[in-house]
Structure 1
Amino acid sequence: MKIALLGYGKMGKVIEQIALDRGHEIVLKKDQNNTFDGLENADVAIDFSIPDSAVTNISTCLENGIPVISGTTGWLVDYQNMVDLCQKNNGSFIYASNFSLGVNVFFELNDYLAKMMANLKQYQVSMEEIHHTQKLDAPSGTAITLAEGIIKNTNYTQWTLESPKANEIQIEAKRIENVPGTHSIFYDSTVDQIEIKHTAHSREGFALGAVVAAEWLVGKKGVFSMKDVLGI
């Protein structure tokens, strides 16, 4: 499989190594200063860039018939536009706030726990996410996905980084050197606390999931998610 890497920072380099280890070829390594020369040779593109570049990267792929997966967060105000563009061009597109296989299992666990807790009004839910200091957006896309899973299954209506009002989920976003990503969800009552937590030990889990998703997407048409890739 020939892969275009759109975003060649730390994550892009880890994805490159895993892709090469799995027998794939890299035909384009694009950072902010490079062009899309070579994109036409790709079977699939993997976008791990920055919020300001993601929409251009994704739309260029879709307009040129290149299947694309994106793990960039912080641009989702334009997500529906990318879905529409994919459908208009009969393209192939996966966005995930987190491609880690373990995190996607954690998403399902979060949904299940939220359903169980929905009628236990004595518990107040809150979240904490910790990432490296180079992460540009806060809260993380993963934290937002987790919050949306809780909102979907409970009476909570939105999340906030501030002191929560009624029906708001407080997310505390911390930035600490060399932390790949830790997400915790707390249900607190006056008598106890329930906590679920996912801790990434390295970027390799995110990178492996991205390559697996790219392998899965080639030859398919439509807008998909990691649920489709993992069959969950």
Structure 2
Amino acid sequence: MKIALIGLGTTGRIVAEYLLKEQVLTMVLCKKSSNKAGKDLGEILHRPATGIIVESIDNLEEKLLRERPDVLIDFSQPVFLRENLALLARCKVNVVTAVTGYSEMDVKRIKAVTRSGKLGVVMAPNITYGVNVLLAIAGIVAELQVDCDFEIIEENHKNKKDSPSGTAKKIAAAVLTSLSDSGGCVDAIPIHSIRSGDTIGKHKILVTGQYDQIEISHTAFSREAYAEGAHKAALFIKGKKGIYEMKDVFGLGMSKCKSVINKINKLNSGQCCCG
């Protein structure tokens, strides 16, 4: 498998290290004005030379046709996919985008291109397995605790541009969907954002009833969790067409959530749930 990467920020560099270790990274791109262009990736990662020269996205189509990556992993900015989506489809390069901050129009365009059968995309603002388990749990709890109040608290590093985070928005959407499906009538889930230091990522859901409160939280200890998720997403999307989320990559779909809810209901009714 051949993977291209764009975005060598704090997380992108760790992703590059991980993909080098997995021996799948063959191409690294940067924006046109970047001073990283022309340097060996090893120099940027403060390690021995890798033989991979970072290239700017000038003449991108020519470079993609030369290297023929199966998948491009995007840890850059929304503008990259906004400007190069059709080009990637033409070059038959599928995409894993861990970028947040896409506009509604951006998302509509991505969906339109994938519906045409020309491209496969994993939209992955919440790329770690743990966060996706949290999302699944949030939906389950919302279905079981429909009369409670829900709030989300998220913390990220001080340089994160979007607030609230894409993950927090995704959690809120999951809660709202489950509440609506269960007869709840809530218009929005409050989200409280904190930006400080080098916090990698913390998300907490508060579920408050009249007499008690449930807290569900996820804390990332290492950015390597993002690298592992990106690699799994790339393996998943290779050769596929259409648009997917990380719940598809990890197999955390609705059927699995419904199975958990059924087991909880059986336990509450005193039935055995082992079968």
TM category, shorter: 0.7 to 0.9
Are residues 196 and 137 of structure 1, via their aligned partners in 2, closer, same or farther at CA, if it must alter by over 3 Å? same
Tell me the distance in 1 between the aligned counterparts of 2:116 and 2:210.
52
Instruction: Tell me the residue number matched to 2:71.
Output: 44
- Does the residue aligned with 1:210 lie in a helix, a strand or coil? helix
The reply on whether 1:176 has 2:196 as its aligned counterpart is yes
Are residues 110 and 59 of structure 1, via their aligned partners in 2, closer, same or farther at CA, if it must alter by over 3 Å? farther
TM-score normalised to structure 1 length: 0.88
Letter of the 1:17 counterpart: E
TM-score normalised to structure 2 length: 0.75
Letter of the 1:139 counterpart: P
Identity of aligned residues (%): 32
Once the two structures are TM-superposed, the CA of residue 76 in structure 1 deviates from its matched residue by 3.8
The reply on whether 1:99 has 2:119 as its aligned counterpart is no
RMSD, aligned α-carbons: 1.9
- Does the residue aligned with 1:28 lie in a helix, a strand or coil? strand
The reply on whether 1:144 has 2:173 as its aligned counterpart is no
Letter of the 1:45 counterpart: L
Q: Is the 8 A contact 2:5 2:25 kept in 1?
A: no
The reply on whether 1:15 has 2:42 as its aligned counterpart is no
Equivalent positions of 1:94-173 (< 5 A) are: 94-118=122-146, 120=147, 123-155=148-180, 167-173=187-193
Letter of the 2:102 counterpart: W
Which ranges in structure 2 are unaligned for 5 or more consecutive residues? 34-55, 253-275
Report how many aligned residue pairs link the two structures.
220
Among 109, 114, 119, the residue aligned to 1:86:
114
Equivalent positions of 1:47-58 (< 5 A) are: 47-58=74-85
Once the two structures are TM-superposed, the CA of residue 32 in structure 1 deviates from its matched residue by 5.2
Tell me the distance in 1 between the aligned counterparts of 2:14 and 2:81.
19
Which ranges in structure 1 are unaligned for 5 or more consecutive residues? 157-165
Instruction: Tell me the residue number matched to 2:263.
Output: none
Question: Which stretch of structure 1 is more off in the superposition, 135-144 or 10-19?
Answer: 10-19
Among 223, 227, 234, the residue aligned to 1:207:
227
Tell me the distance in 1 between the aligned counterparts of 2:153 and 2:84.
30
Instruction: Tell me the residue number matched to 2:237.
Output: 217
Instruction: Tell me the residue number matched to 1:29.
Output: 29
- Does the residue aligned with 1:169 lie in a helix, a strand or coil? coil
Instruction: Tell me the residue number matched to 1:63.
Output: 90
Question: Which stretch of structure 1 is more off in the superposition, 147-156 or 76-85?
Answer: 147-156
Q: Is the 8 A contact 1:71 1:98 kept in 2?
A: yes
